[in-house]
Structure 1
Amino acid sequence: MTSSYEDGPHMTMQPWFNDAKLGIFVHYGIYSVEGVPESWSLFDGVMPHEQYMRQLDRFTASAFDAAAWARLFARAGAGYAVLTARHHDGVALWDTQLSDLNVVRRSPAGRDLVAEYASAMRDSGLRVGLYYSHSDWNHPDYASVRHPRPPHPELVASPYVSPSPGAEDPRAWNRYLDYRDGQVRELLTRFSPDLLWFDGEWERSADQWRMAELAQVIRDLAPETVCNSRLLGHGDYATPEQGLPISAPESDWELCLTVNDSWGYRPHDVNHKTVGQLVRYFAQTIGMGGNLLLGVGPRADGTVPPEQARRLEGLGDWIRRHSEAVHASVAGLPPGHHYGPSTLAPDRRTLYLICFDPPSETVCVRGLRNAVRRVTVLGAGTELAHRRTGGLHDVPGDLWIDAPAPSDLAPHGSVLALELDGEMELYTGQGRG
């Protein structure tokens, strides 16, 4: 699939991205000390600026173990991870040479967490993603120009974002952009990320952000680095959040989803999705051709909360049992052919039907032109009888597959593998009038 963000410097999407299927999104920063919303508690006045920034003094990362993160993410079945190298609050998790506002110099942690993270992910075979916010609500030159046509006026009216009327300072803004570009260069040259995940783009127009110039810097320094669409016209894939789109984006894409309702560590947020719900989100996403970027929020000491770790491991158990239907697969049947999601093998000769609920009597597939050589239950190997009914002229009729025995069903959803005679062909018409 080609990207729809091809109006600026771009690259061909790297094959690893679509093969990965699952990424882990890690929101980690000083906000975990008080367990408040990342950066937004500062912006919204939930916490006064001075109190928010005092979290630096208690950010220890005392149990931060990037290798343990990597092992957990690998057990979850992830192919990549994305760490918040710098959120909107401007606090960097690496030893940036462009500011002392980083946890290496200003917090008891005293460690370059990005360096440790990148090394550990690579040692475990995971691709390295880094989140970076265009906006910085702490930088002295940031609130210096106004958005000419803000998509969210209520957000850009803040003094953290925009100057008072008549007080714009284009020179200060250019200093800020030089700072941002310098930090992006640091991330690229020091850590060689496989992916850059930008955010905060709504606060300025693409021209104000100098997005074309930044995109060219990235392509010149790291032509194989994948970038998300929040590079405003120059990214490689779309990033819907917190809910599956009804129709898949036309570009490559990834669904960003939290395990509970929060991105960062919020001890009072106990509304965790079940493993079964996460399996459904994951299966529906890959069945539509996307990746799932699943968000976790480590505590201030660097440990992933056990209730989140257990859910990652539960999702990983399901992925391992059904890896044949997951890795290197492509989007399966369009809606209307099967009551659940599905995927296709890369050669389009094996169709995988995902059944979340125990099938009653039979599983039906409509509009499949191919003869079916064999149907088996993934993870059990049991072969299932199948037959076709109906069909007239150009209409292929319906395929009926006997329901698996209860002993062959997998927790949270079972997968039936249909070996097709040739590459999958579908009938999508309205039938004979």
Structure 2
Amino acid sequence: MWSPEMQARGSVGTQLLLLLVLGAAESAPGAQRRYTPDWPSLDSRPLPDWFDKAKFGVFVHWGVFSVPAWGSEWFWWHWKGEGLPQYQRFMSDNYPPGFSYADFAPQFTARFFDPDTWADLFQAAGAKYVVLTTKHHEGFTNWPSPVSWNWNSKDVGPHRDLVGELETAIRKRNIRYGLYHSLFEWFHPLYQLDKKNGFRTQYFVAGKTMPELYDLVNRYKPDLIWSDGDWESPDTYWNSTDFLSWLYSDSPVKDEVVVNDRWGFNCSCHHGGYYNCEDKFQPSSLPHHKWEMCTSIDKRSWGYRRTMSISDVADESEIIAELVQTVSLGGNYLLNIGPTKDGLIVPIFQERLLAVGKWLSISGEAIYASQPWRVQLEKNESVWYTSKGSAVYAIFLNWPENGELSLKSPKTTSTTQVMMLGIQKDLEWSTDPHGGLLIYLPQIPPSALPVEFAWTIKMTGVE
């Protein structure tokens, strides 16, 4: 029979042996690395490479705010939080006295929402990932959240799991699926209580934010989590590092999932996965960290607006120029549309997305899975560069009047070849007196060109 001392020694020995085994497993080839709930560990995680290769995604802002469809998706806050006179006037002119924001929810019907039609459009647009709003700052969830009773798309409004239906359609087309989720909610009583307490309590985080994030991951296994609504409090209030530690180490998507940088007011452009930094962020030079530009076809709103005019809509050439610039500077381009309360994507948004898809069907070789080149921009010519393997791509935004494109940066060699994407034969070229490359563009009518704007020159054998 063992004495207590022997049992204790045996217990210690067992613990040491267990630690050795775990340590060996951790260091074994192919072992899953574990990430601790602190930024040095979390920030050391390599970004899954699918995201950098994807380059282009579609953002979808959809919720109860799509019912008033006036002003922007911040309607409730402008009306009740700030009490802006134009919003109060809009309500008194169009709705009966006592009409509350919650009364909009039954009108959020999604009656014509066909997830396969959406997914076909996004595929035709050339999108490699789609990010859907699961919950905006209004708190209404587009899935049957277990902690959002009677304020979700299953209990009221569509009576459908919108997140789940779109997931099925998107995955059938091998497009990556991302979920936008707002950490905070303007008028949730628990959030207001935590705010009143100077964020020294976490009633809202424990009762609402974290249960929903864990539920979204376990239920839909997203490829991307697009966090937002973080700016009023630090990551320590949100328990962001605990969640990300689980997400990277133990969740069902630990190897593939990508996140952004909005996990507390101290995180943006500093911590997380890739960086958004701010809405419509556009760096002027090549950043040292993977980033994404999110922008909206409607320049004045992310959600659908009934009063949107054509002057508010970004045109095709503007969108494609932004895409080119973003990818040249190492970023991804996430382009937003706002569906109607019925679940329709209005024709002008469809047209813009299809224009991007048409352009990418010719020029995608210079975009998808590309890398920034040693030079990103030739300012005098509005030429942006990307590269892939031994090929260098020069995307020029303005067609030169004399039909000759002058490139200062590429250095020619004895094996240099030049062509335009969408045209089979090689182009003629020469070196200019300063050692640059002079390319003689095809002498064909504009209608015969492969694309209407942002033409791509592919060069091999250049340095």
The TM tier, using the shorter chain, reads 0.7 to 0.9
Deviates more, 1:357-366 or 1:27-36: 357-366
Q: What is the TM-score when the length of structure 1 is the normalising length? A: 0.85
In the alignment, the residues of structure 1 paired with residue 56 and residue 205 of structure 2 have an alpha-carbon distance, to the nearest angstrom, of 34
Cross-structure match for 2:27:
none
8 A Cα contact 1:84 1:131, kept in partner:
yes
8 A Cα contact 1:22 1:291, kept in partner:
yes
Change (3 A) 1:9 1:244: closer
8 A Cα contact 1:322 1:415, kept in partner:
yes
The question of 1:30 aligning with 2:64 is answered yes
Change (3 A) 1:13 1:168: closer
8 A Cα contact 2:143 2:154, kept in partner:
no
Identity of aligned residues (%): 29
Q: What pairs with 1:200-219 in structure 2 (closer than 5 Å)?
A: 200-219=229-248
Once the two structures are TM-superposed, the CA of residue 183 in structure 1 deviates from its matched residue by 0.5
8 A Cα contact 1:27 1:84, kept in partner:
yes
Q: What pairs with 1:73-88 in structure 2 (closer than 5 Å)?
A: 73-88=122-137
Cross-structure match for 1:237:
274
Once the two structures are TM-superposed, the CA of residue 287 in structure 1 deviates from its matched residue by 1.3
Q: Secondary structure at the match of 1:375?
A: strand
Q: Quote the RMSD (CA, aligned, Å).
A: 2.2
Q: What pairs with 1:330-369 in structure 2 (closer than 5 Å)?
A: 330-332=371-373, 333-336=375-378, 339-347=381-389, 349-361=390-402, 362-369=404-411
Cross-structure match for 1:154:
none
Which of 257, 279, 289 is 1:225 aligned to? Answer: 257
Cross-structure match for 1:44:
78
8 A Cα contact 2:199 2:233, kept in partner:
no
Change (3 A) 1:39 1:274: closer
In the alignment, the residues of structure 2 paired with residue 264 and residue 367 of structure 1 have an alpha-carbon distance, to the nearest angstrom, of 42
Deviates more, 1:319-328 or 1:101-110: 101-110
In the alignment, the residues of structure 2 paired with residue 61 and residue 194 of structure 1 have an alpha-carbon distance, to the nearest angstrom, of 25
Q: Secondary structure at the match of 1:103?
A: coil
Once the two structures are TM-superposed, the CA of residue 77 in structure 1 deviates from its matched residue by 0.5
8 A Cα contact 2:377 2:385, kept in partner:
no
8 A Cα contact 2:199 2:237, kept in partner:
no
In the alignment, the residues of structure 2 paired with residue 234 and residue 102 of structure 1 have an alpha-carbon distance, to the nearest angstrom, of 32
8 A Cα contact 1:376 1:383, kept in partner:
yes
The question of 1:247 aligning with 2:285 is answered yes
Q: Secondary structure at the match of 1:277?
A: helix
Once the two structures are TM-superposed, the CA of residue 250 in structure 1 deviates from its matched residue by 2.1
Once the two structures are TM-superposed, the CA of residue 358 in structure 1 deviates from its matched residue by 1.7
Change (3 A) 1:170 1:259: same
Cross-structure match for 1:400:
438
5+ residue gaps, structure 2: 1-37, 80-86, 92-97
Q: Secondary structure at the match of 1:278?
A: helix
8 A Cα contact 2:134 2:143, kept in partner:
yes
Which of 353, 369, 375 is 2:418 aligned to? Answer: 375
Change (3 A) 1:169 1:71: closer
In the alignment, the residues of structure 2 paired with residue 174 and residue 415 of structure 1 have an alpha-carbon distance, to the nearest angstrom, of 54
Cross-structure match for 2:47:
13
Once the two structures are TM-superposed, the CA of residue 122 in structure 1 deviates from its matched residue by 0.4
In the alignment, the residues of structure 1 paired with residue 118 and residue 287 of structure 2 have an alpha-carbon distance, to the nearest angstrom, of 31
In the alignment, the residues of structure 1 paired with residue 313 and residue 172 of structure 2 have an alpha-carbon distance, to the nearest angstrom, of 30
Q: What is the TM-score when the length of structure 2 is the normalising length? A: 0.80
5+ residue gaps, structure 1: 146-161, 392-396, 425-433
Q: What pairs with 1:58-97 in structure 2 (closer than 5 Å)?
A: 58-97=107-146
Deviates more, 1:300-309 or 1:332-341: 332-341
Once the two structures are TM-superposed, the CA of residue 179 in structure 1 deviates from its matched residue by 2.2
Which of 226, 230, 233 is 1:197 aligned to? Answer: 226
Deviates more, 1:35-44 or 1:68-77: 35-44
The question of 1:420 aligning with 2:457 is answered no
In the alignment, the residues of structure 2 paired with residue 86 and residue 335 of structure 1 have an alpha-carbon distance, to the nearest angstrom, of 38
Deviates more, 1:314-323 or 1:98-107: 98-107
8 A Cα contact 1:242 1:257, kept in partner:
yes
In the alignment, the residues of structure 2 paired with residue 284 and residue 419 of structure 1 have an alpha-carbon distance, to the nearest angstrom, of 21
Residues matched between the structures, number: 392
In the alignment, the residues of structure 2 paired with residue 178 and residue 69 of structure 1 have an alpha-carbon distance, to the nearest angstrom, of 33
Cross-structure match for 2:428:
385
1:365-406 Cα distance to aligned partner (Å, 9 max, x none): 213334252111110123211111335xxxxx2111112323
- Which structure has the greater CA radius of gyration? 2
Q: Secondary structure at the match of 1:201?
A: coil
More helix by share: 2
Cross-structure match for 1:286:
327
